[in-house]
A and B are shown apart, each in its own frame.
Chain A
Amino acid sequence: MAGSDWRDRYGTEGGGPRPASLGVMARVFSEDGLGKWALYAPTVFVILFFIVPTALTVVWSFFERTMFWMEPGFTLFSYVNFFTSARFENFLFSMLHSSVSVVVSFVVGFPIAVFVRRHVPTVAQHRVILLFILPFMVSEIIRTFMLRPVLGRNGLVNTFLTDLGVISEPITQILFTPTGVIIGEVLSFLPFIVFSGFLAMEAVPKYIFEVCQDLGASRWRTFWDIIVPLAAPGIFAGSVFIFVNGIGVALIPSILGGPGAVNAGLIATQAIIALDIPLAMAVSAIMMVTLFGLLAIGHRLFNLTKILEPQA
């Protein structure tokens, strides 16, 4: 009774066009209209911005080089070129430098994340973490460039140490060496590790600290036995991120590095400048394979999907 009454009134009093437009809206948002397609949006996004460029990179890396561009074909020339020149050695070294950056960033940054999680009141935690993102407000080029007058021969560090009498000769082994690049990378990526460490610590319940205190675990034991295993997936994700940036971001070695401090990103950039597009593509493809390899290992060890699961 009441049901039909309601339906009648809706149909007549609302006027002709209204039910029709309602119908259209309902159809658009129903499960088999736009709603259904909305589910595919991420898939489309991934195909458009991830799979297609990746595939093109790989395909182009096998193309033949021409004077200014490339032409379709299949040649391993770019790869041979890469692996048989100093580039490969540079690439391996950049992986080493990157690993050092990861370790240093972790050692410096992760305790900050642990501290914030443990000692800062929950309501203020996110604000404190935001402070670490503030440096990102400054362009990375400027941030990196500012290190030159700091680390250089007559830079801030050298002047300071000389004035203190700690050293008599300025240290010249910082700027334009791998050390300079590592310093630049650590400063650049530290906020990332603090942030990802903070997220990783979400997997560590707060009560853990008190339980450890009660059982008599030292800080060190608490850290290694409890915190690190629990936060491992998050730590790994953060580390991979820094590592990949370390070998991929051309900016830092091009400003702070020297002949011996080149990374994959810079090799690719230089190849593009030299108009050797297939080589640049090959370098990128090798970087991607490296990344996928790391992720595969990480997934095997930590089941990375756990990071995305809500914690109880």
Chain B
Amino acid sequence: MNETKDIAIEVVGLSKSYGPVRALRSVDIAIGRNEYFVLLGPSGGGKTTLLRMIGGFTKPTAGRILLHGVDVAHLPPDKRPTCMVFQSYALFPHMTVAGNVGYGLKLKGMSKAEIQVRLDAVLEMVGLNGYQARMPWELSGGQQQRVQLARALVLEPEILLLDEPLAALDEQLRKDMCIWLKHLQERVGITFIHVTHNQEEAMSVADRIALIADGELVECGDARQVYRTPARRFTASFMGESNLLDGTVAEVSGDGTVTVDVGIARVAVPSADATAGIQAAVSVRSEAMRLIPRDQAQGADEQALDAIYQEEIYLGLMTRQIMALPNGQTISVRSVSDDDEAPAFQAGDAVRVVWKTAAGRLHLS
């Protein structure tokens, strides 16, 4: 990643405005060769806009796009080393599977025999052998998306762009396709850029994730790292389920922890650098918290907040317990459901929410 030759896509100061709407504001991203990269973010954040600019379907307002070190600003989609898989089942409705997949090769002037060879190979790869003569309407949604993938892959692009390729599929199929896509990428060994607003989908396929919201790149990093140790407050609120406490930095101690005054209490969080007095937020994942009665003390390496127990929501595998802090903010704690036990607390009980100090994360922005 540190050598230019390993960077497949470099986006520098990329912006896009639609009239007064600023869809993308000066985004910088570098995507490595053969990486499975996911653009994740809430709806309307600008993910599609970014992807379409990389593919050449939308012209940037400002900024540069380098594909393998070459500025592609002036190149149309077909002259770029990219291929796009669209969200809708974007097949040619009047062509068979073979016709759809072979069309790009036919345009390149390839002979019928050679097209046939490549067609068989790519359909084998996407698991659609024997479907050559089917029409699009004779295929399921998942199969149609695989035909789209085959149509793109058969052209041997170096970069595959996927705009919410699984959005139209049902939950179970989407999960299966995620695993399948991941394996496919490993097999073909090219760069995948996958747009989604589904966090679970992103986590299950990505090597690295870029979080995009409001036209800005919020955070970019290794998938696990973004989930476990988000740097920004927004990332913490978007990824997984976290409790956020806003406040100011009260004290910076030498042992690598920072004390944050969150209004109702002071909590310690691990942090390397912070200055006293600045605005900060503390986040703790809801599954990293637990509940104890008010009269019980927390461990030496734990932080605690007093709260009033409100209710319990059974989610199947997990159970969510909802508490209210003295300032009215709600805190949610998730734990693996324990079916035998009667609820430990009643609504209105005075409790304490505790978590390991190391599980807290400090966000300065």
Which residues does A use to contact B, with CB under 8 Å? 205, 207-208, 210-211, 213-217, 221, 225-226, 229-230
Contact = CB atoms under 8 A, between A and B. Distances in A.
Interface stretch (B81-89, B211-219, B246-254, B319-327): B81-89
B32 interface: no
6 contacts: A210-B84, A210-B86, A214-B78, A215-B78, A215-B151, A230-B94
Given A214-B57, A215-B104, 12 more contacts: A210-B57, A211-B86, A213-B77, A213-B78, A214-B55, A214-B152, A216-B79, A216-B104, A216-B107, A217-B103, A229-B94, A230-B93
Contact of B78 (A207, A216, A225): A216
B188 interface: no
A229 B135 CA distance: 15
Given A221-B107, A225-B103, A213 B90 contact: no
B91 to A, nearest CB: 8
A83 to B, nearest CB: 41
Contacts of A214: 55, 57, 77-78, 83-84, 152
Contacts of B88: 205, 207
Contacts of B103: 215, 217, 225
Nearest to B148: A211
Given A215-B104, A215-B107, A217-B107, A205 B86 contact: no
| 7 tightest A-B CB contacts, nearest first | A216-B78, A215-B104, A207-B90, A214-B77, A213-B77, A229-B94, A214-B84
B94 A213 contact: no
Sorting the interface of chain B by its residue count into under 10, 10 to 19, 20 to 34 or 35 or more gives 20 to 34
A205 B57 contact: no
Given A207-B86, A221-B107, A213 B92 contact: no
Contacts of B55: 214
A210 B79 CA distance: 14
Contacts of A226: 92, 94
Contacts of A211: 84, 86, 90, 92
Contacts of B57: 210, 213-214
A221 B155 CA distance: 18
B93 A205 contact: yes
A213 B76 contact: yes
B290 to A, nearest CB: 49
A215 B83 CA distance: 8
Contacts of A230: 93-94
Nearest to A232: B94
A270 B331 CA distance: 90
Nearest to A225: B103
A111 B357 CA distance: 68
Interface string B306-328: 00000000000000000000000
B105 to A, nearest CB: 9
A105 B125 CA distance: 47
A216 B75 CA distance: 12
Contact of B92 (A208, A216, A221): A208
A213 B76 CA distance: 8
Interface in B59-86: 76-79, 83-84, 86
Contacts of B152: 214
A305 to B, nearest CB: 16
Contacts of B151: 215
A205 B55 CA distance: 20
A210 B77 CA distance: 9
Given A216-B108, A217-B107, A205 B77 contact: no
A214 B82 CA distance: 8
Contacts of A216: 78-79, 104, 107-108
B233 to A, nearest CB: 37
B77 to A, nearest CB: 5
A210 B76 CA distance: 11
A205 B93 CA distance: 9
Nearest to A222: B107
Interface string B239-277: 000000000000000000000000000000000000000
A214 B91 CA distance: 13
A213 B78 CA distance: 6
A192 B61 CA distance: 39
A233 to B, nearest CB: 11
A87 to B, nearest CB: 42
Contacts of A213: 56-57, 76-78
Nearest to B87: A207
A311 to B, nearest CB: 9
A35 B152 CA distance: 53
A28 B259 CA distance: 79
A219 to B, nearest CB: 12
A208 B92 CA distance: 7
Contacts of B108: 216
A229 B107 CA distance: 17
Interface in B90-116: 90, 92-94, 103-104, 107-108
B253 to A, nearest CB: 56
B291 to A, nearest CB: 46
A203 to B, nearest CB: 8
Contacts of A215: 78, 103-104, 107, 151, 155
B352 to A, nearest CB: 50
B262 to A, nearest CB: 48
Contacts of A221: 107
Nearest to B55: A214
A213 B93 CA distance: 17
Interface in B133-156: 151-152, 155
A50 B199 CA distance: 61
B72 to A, nearest CB: 14
Contacts of B79: 216
Contacts of A207: 86, 88, 90
Nearest to B80: A214
Contacts of B93: 205, 230
B147 to A, nearest CB: 12
Contacts of A229: 94
Nearest to A210: B57
A312 to B, nearest CB: 8
B67 to A, nearest CB: 14
